[in-house]
Structure 1
Amino acid sequence: MSDKLIKNGRIVTDEHRLVVLAEGEAAADIAVPAGPVLVPLAVWQARRDALLARAQGGELGVWLAAGEDVAALADDLDTLTVIALQFPKFTDGRSYSAATALRTRYGYRGELRAIGEVLRDQFNYLTRCGFDALQPRPGRYTDEQLAAALASIGDFSQPYQRSVQDPLPLFRRVERSTPPQVQR
Structure 2
Amino acid sequence: MSEAFIHVSDWFPTILGGLAGGNLNGTKPLDGYNVWNAIVNGTFSPRTELLHNIDPLILHVGKSFHRKAAFNTSIRAALRIGDWKLVTGDPGISVWMPPPESGLKPILPVEPTDKDVWLFNISADPYEKVDVSDTNPDVVDLILDRMQDYYNTMVPPLWPNPDPNCDPAKHGGVWGPWV
Normalising to structure 2: TM-score of the pair? 0.23
By relative contact order (CA 8 Å, sep 6+), the higher-ranking structure is 1
When normalised by structure 1's length, the TM-score is 0.23
- Structure index of larger Rg: 2
Looking at secondary structure, tell me which structure has more helix per residue.
Answer: 1
